[in-house]
Amino acid sequence: MSRPLDIGINQIKGLLMKMGKMSIDSTGQALEGFHLREDNYAQIKMWSNTIQILAEEVEDRATELIALNQPMASDLRILKAYIKIAYDVERYGRYAMDISEIIHLIGKWGEINNDLTVKELGETALQVMEMSLEMIDTMDETKIFELSKIETTTDDLYFENLRNLSECKGDPKGIVANLLTIRYLERLADHGSYIAESISYAATGKRISIR
């Protein structure tokens, strides 16, 4: 028979998975809007706000479980990790909104003369997000090193794009749009690393940094 604490922990995990899936969809839609130069800010802002509300619910529920159930050390680690993860997933949604907001604020941009890899950077950032969500679902801390490799690739692509943009010619709005987007994608991947670290801590009790 499941303990009330176990039921509560599983409910919080369900909220995190819901948030994660919504954030991945939001990021994918934001990147599609970026590449097509289409304004989908209103929809993604609504999703981001929903993710934020769910993050607050995670924190409230976890705090209540800690206060009412006197969890053992392993349960307490999971609940503490879930509170932190909720913040990181909320940042996923926020950065997706930030990407979509660019065209909403500055309008469509023209061509820029450079060989950019924003599409590849977006793909690797999404891979990090998806793997972090898988780690939340499975609590498989061994995935942390695989995720770290993809996050490192994302960093490399970010710096490559940054160097390219520093020498870029063309529409200034296009340069600004690309510069902001690659920064947001790099930060998305960073938060994926934070989530992986939290899962590793929850599962093993040991703190590990992959940054």
Cα dihedral: 168, 170, 173, 175 (round 10): -10
Q: What's the pLDDT tens digit per position in 55-75?
A: 999 999 999 999 999 889 999
Query: Residue 2 pLDDT more than 80?
Result: no
Query: Residue 1 pLDDT more than 70?
Result: no
pLDDT at 74: 93
Name the DSSP class of 167: T
What domains sit in the chain, N to C, each tagged with a CATH number? 4-204 (1.20.58.220)
Q: How confident is the model at residue 3 (pLDDT cuts 50, 70, 90)?
A: confident
Q: Average pLDDT for residues 143-163, to the nearest whole number?
A: 95
pLDDT at 113: 76
Give the chain's mean pLDDT.
Answer: 94
Q: How confident is the model at residue 115 (pLDDT cuts 50, 70, 90)?
A: low
The reported pTM is 0.94
111 class by beta-carbon count within 10 Å (0-12 exposed, 13-18 middle, 19+ buried): exposed
Among candidate residues 151, 165, 150, 26, the one with its CA nearest the CA of residue 98:
26
Q: How confident is the model at residue 116 (pLDDT cuts 50, 70, 90)?
A: confident
Q: How confident is the model at residue 4 (pLDDT cuts 50, 70, 90)?
A: confident
Q: Average pLDDT for residues 23-46, to the nearest whole number?
A: 97
Please, are residues 103 and 31 in contact by the beta-carbon 8 Å criterion? no
User: Distance between CA atoms of 181 and 122, rounded to whole angstroms?
Assistant: 9
Q: Average pLDDT for residues 18-30, to the nearest whole number?
A: 98
SS3 21: helix
Q: Average pLDDT for residues 176-184, to the nearest whole number?
A: 96
Please, are residues 147 and 193 in contact by the beta-carbon 8 Å criterion? yes
User: Distance between CA atoms of 39 and 180, rounded to whole angstroms?
Assistant: 16
Q: Average pLDDT for residues 51-58, to the nearest whole number?
A: 98
